[in-house]
C-alpha cells in the first residue's frame, strides 16, 4: 500500500509588521541586530515617534514564509524594549511610502514629465534647468510604477522613506 505524503512548499509573502518600542537609545540597533543575527532580511524599516513621547513605532516590511515570519514575531517580542508586535496580514490597513525623485526634464520634455507626475498625484517641489524634483506618496507598487515610467526620461536621484502603515478604523488587536 502506497503512502501519500503532502509536500507543502513554503509560500513567501510580503508582510508589514509594526513594533511599538520604548523610545530609548539603542533600541533600533538592538532590533536590527536581531534581524541580522538570525539572517532575516528587512525590505523596509521605518522608525518614528508616536502620540506618546515614551514610545516609538517601527514599521518593518519583510518577505518571508509563515515559519520565518513566526520566528521574526517571536524574536521581536523577546526584546525587552519591545512593547507590542503586530503583523498586518489579514487586516485592512493603509500604507504609504514617500519618495523624492529627480527626473531629467529639459524644457522640451518638461510638460511630459509634469503630466506623468500629475497622473500619479505627485507634486513638483523643485525646478532646475534640466530636471524636476518630484514628491510622491503611495504604496510601494505605485512608487515602483512611477519609477518604471519615469526611467526613460532619466533618473538623476531617488530617496524613499520606506513603508509606514496603520490599520483602518477600529479593529481588534
Does pLDDT of 5 surpass 50? no
- Domain edge (last residue) among 87, 107, 134: 87
- Domain edge (last residue) among 59, 87, 115: 87
- DSSP three-state, residue 28: helix
Angle at 150 between CA 147 and CA 156, to 5 degrees: 85
All three cell numbers of 122: 505627485
Tell me the pLDDT band of 7, cut-offs 50, 70 and 90: very low
Q: What is the pLDDT of residue 6?
A: 45
**Which residues constitute the domain of residue 140?**
93-167
Residues 83-93: pLDDT tens digits? 999 999 889 99
Please state, rounded to an integer, the average pLDDT across all residues of the chain: 90
d(CA 1, CA 3): 6
**68 and 99 co-located in one domain:** no
How many independent structural domains does the chain possess? Answer: 2
- Domain edge (last residue) among 87, 108, 128: 87
Q: In what order do the strands lie in the sheet with 13-22?
A: 44-49, 55-64, 13-22, 82-87
3-class SS string, 89-142:
CCCCEEEEEEEEEEEECCCCCHHHHHHHHHHCCCEEEEEECCEEEEEEEECHHH
pTM (predicted TM-score): 0.80
**43 and 98 co-located in one domain:** no
- Render 30-72 in DSSP notation, one character per residue: HHHHHHHHTTPPPSEEEEEE-SSTTEEEEEEEEEE-HHHHHHH
Phi/psi region, residue 39 (left: phi>0; alpha: psi -120 to 50; beta: rest), is: left
Q: What is the pLDDT of residue 9?
A: 60
Does pLDDT of 129 surpass 80? yes
All three cell numbers of 169: 478604523
Q: What is the pLDDT of residue 171?
A: 59
**114 and 153 co-located in one domain:** yes
Residues 10-27: pLDDT tens digits? 788 889 999 999 999 999
> Averaged over 102-107, what is the pLDDT?
97
Amino acid at each position: 500500500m502506497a503512502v501519500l505524503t503532502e509536500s507543502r512548499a513554503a509560500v513567501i509573502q510580503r508582510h508589514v509588521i509594526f513594533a511599538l518600542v520604548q523610545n530609548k537609545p539603542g533600541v533600533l540597533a538592538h532590533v536590527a541586530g536581531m534581524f541580522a543575527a538570525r539572517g532575516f532580511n528587512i525590505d523596509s524599516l521605518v522608525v518614528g515617534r508616536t502620540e506618546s513621547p515614551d514610545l516609538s513605532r517601527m514599521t518593518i516590511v519583510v518577505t518571508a514564509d509563515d515559519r520565518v515570519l513566526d520566528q521574526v514575531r517571536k524574536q521581536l517580542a523577546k526584546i525587552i524594549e519591545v512593547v507590542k508586535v503586530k503583523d498586518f496580514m489579514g487586516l485592512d490597513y493603509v500604507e504609504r511610502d514617500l519618495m523624492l525623485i529627480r527626473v531629467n526634464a529639459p524644457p522640451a520634455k518638461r510638460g511630459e514629465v509634469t503630466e506623468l507626475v500629475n497622473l500619479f498625484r505627485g507634486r513638483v517641489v523643485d525646478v532646475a534647468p534640466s530636471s524636476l524634483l518630484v514628491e510622491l506618496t503611495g504604496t510601494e507598487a505605485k512608487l515602483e510604477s512611477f519609477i518604471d515610467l519615469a526611467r526613460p526620461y532619466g533618473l538623476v536621484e531617488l530617496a524613499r522613506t520606506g513603508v509606514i502603515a496603520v490599520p483602518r478604523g477600529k479593529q481588534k488587536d
